[in-house]
Structure 1
Amino acid sequence: MIKIIFRIVAIILLIYVGFNVVKLLSTLKIKDLQTIPKAVLFSLLRVIAAQAIALIWTVPVGVAIGMNKKLGNILQPVIQVVASVPATALFPVVLGIFMSKLGGLGFASIILMLMGTQWYILFNVVAGAMAIPEDLKAATKTFGIRGIKKWKTLILPGIFPYLVTGMITATGGCWNASIVSEYVNFGGKSVKTVGLGALISQATETGNFAMLLMGTITMCIVVVVINNVVWKRLYALAEERFKIEM
């Protein structure tokens, strides 16, 4: 009896919430809805750019740390200290540089996204490189496998599952960071660029709850779609082809 009552109450609440959501969204104008696809596209491009920049340096550095104990003992404490500094503490410095000289907030927002999310990839790559079995490392050394061939046959397959995990986490972090990096208060005034994060932040500041709700729903949908289309398939690939059985 209690379960039935609970279900009835839950259904009533869902209907009530759903009705109010539809009612609120119905107040949006066509011109407001037309800004969303462009905002999604620009934010997506920034997320991809931030991930690409992170990969360029985190993969080689992470592999070097994970496969070289002496180097790891030196660099790991340094990186952990640097990573512990809140990215938001460095936002004014980055904005001061890029707003005046290097492309404005459109490019600065990529750097702001990168600063808070690159460590997810780095630490996962380090863990992946450390997890590569010593006998496989010894085998590549015995057979004289070096350079690009070593990366293709040992390193990249070995770190791939960890790399995917790091990138998933970093991507989610980038979407969250877009809210604070695409619309900022700098020099006593609000500065924004085109993006979904900017749309959400501006809607919050102006009290446009309909646009705030629509932007949040849109971001959730985009993240879920990317997870299912991209990351779910890469995870399956990692399980099937790049899993090291001990």
Structure 2
Amino acid sequence: MERLRSIIKRVDLVGWIVPAVVVLVWLWLSVSGQIPAYKLPSPVALLRVLADFASGSLGVTPYSGALWENLGVSLLRVLAGFFMAGSLGMLMGFLTGRITVLRRLFDPVIHLLKAVPGIGWLPIAIVWFGVGEGNTLFLMSLAAFFPIYVNTAAGAAGIPETYIQAGQMLGAQGFRLFRSVIFPAAFPQTAVGLRLGLGVAWAYLVLGEVTGVTKGLGAIMSDARMLGHVDMVLAAMIVIAVAAKVTDFLLVVICRRIYPRGGMKNESGI
């Protein structure tokens, strides 16, 4: 009970004002008939669709009970793309952030590629990987790579030289210097990139899944759009938003384990 009370106390009620107003206006527009249901279903109808999507007990759409399988497929894709982007982005970020010659070699090219919008990679991704799994993973990992790389490189490059000198004076060299000085000092900025990268991976999941895969939340959104089920498109969007928020929360928990701050928050949110 005490734990529940502490959680309730941490909830910022101000953050619920705008969603509540949006739902009330949405409900009023639906009830008054100013927006037809085929364009925007009412909140009550959407809740029924979501309940049926999860439980399969109502049979109101062709996607009854299909939530958990498709959510699992999409979640695995996001985690795979995020892992690839995070591994390469952190590696390249720490290397270019600390080694000047590597920064001069790779940083201009990476920032040049970063300027290309994600949708611009879609045609070439289809040519390289075909329509399906490879195309989706490529788009997600590519899009998530850039914020992770940029923030990691900025964090590594911004470490005061006094930190490095102090570590060297205490005998830290090579990997030991990285583990004890460079990584902890740069990690808050790296965590910013990881959180941004995870959000981008969820966003680009839909772009990849609408191009030919048969399972996943994005595939359901594409199929529902063609069948005229606007309610299912909105339901899938809500599920993606909730799943992205949950995975972001878990990422923050992991980051706090790696880099405990004694409860003090910083720009990374950890």
Instruction: Give yes or no for TM over 0.5.
Output: yes
1:227 to 227, 233, 248: 248
Q: Does residue 134 of structure 1 match 2:161? A: yes
* TM-score where L is the length of structure 1: 0.79
1:75-122 CA distance string (max 9 Å, x none): 3222211211223222222222222xxxx6123211111122210000
Counterpart in 2 of 1:4? none
1:216 to 222, 237, 254: 237
Which amino acid is the alignment partner of residue 146 of structure 1?
A: Q
**Identical-residue share of aligned pairs (%):** 24
Q: Does residue 114 of structure 1 match 2:136? A: no
- Tell me if the contact between 2:26 and 2:43 (Cα under 8 Å) persists in the aligned partners: no
Distance 1:25 1:209, change over 3 A: farther
Which amino acid is the alignment partner of residue 118 of structure 2?
A: A
1:118-141 CA distance string (max 9 Å, x none): 100000001110121201212333
Once residues 160 and 235 of structure 1 are traced to their aligned partners in structure 2, the CA distance between those partners, rounded to angstroms, is: 10
Once residues 74 and 149 of structure 2 are traced to their aligned partners in structure 1, the CA distance between those partners, rounded to angstroms, is: 23
Where in structure 2 are there 5+ consecutive unaligned residues? 1-20, 32-41, 53-58
Distance 1:243 1:65, change over 3 A: farther
Q: Does residue 62 of structure 1 match 2:83? A: no
Counterpart in 1 of 2:220? 199
Between 1:230-239 and 1:43-52, the stretch displaced more is 230-239
* TM-score where L is the length of structure 2: 0.72
Task: Please give the residue correspondences for 1:46-85 in structure 2 after superposition, counting only pairs within 5 Å.
Answer: 46-85=77-116
Counterpart in 1 of 2:48? 26
Q: Secondary structure at the match of 1:33?
A: coil
Counterpart in 1 of 2:209? 182
Once residues 22 and 126 of structure 2 are traced to their aligned partners in structure 1, the CA distance between those partners, rounded to angstroms, is: 47
Once residues 136 and 24 of structure 2 are traced to their aligned partners in structure 1, the CA distance between those partners, rounded to angstroms, is: 42
Once residues 94 and 111 of structure 1 are traced to their aligned partners in structure 2, the CA distance between those partners, rounded to angstroms, is: 7
1:135-176 CA distance string (max 9 Å, x none): 121233344423432232122212211121111111111111
Q: How many residues align?
A: 226
Where in structure 1 are there 5+ consecutive unaligned residues? 1-8, 185-190
Which amino acid is the alignment partner of residue 194 of structure 1?
A: K
Q: Secondary structure at the match of 2:215?
A: coil
Q: Secondary structure at the match of 2:261?
A: helix
Which amino acid is the alignment partner of residue 48 of structure 2?
A: S
Which amino acid is the alignment partner of residue 75 of structure 2?
A: L
Once residues 223 and 25 of structure 1 are traced to their aligned partners in structure 2, the CA distance between those partners, rounded to angstroms, is: 19
Once residues 170 and 23 of structure 2 are traced to their aligned partners in structure 1, the CA distance between those partners, rounded to angstroms, is: 65
Between 1:18-27 and 1:154-163, the stretch displaced more is 18-27
The alignment's C-alpha RMSD in Å is: 3.0
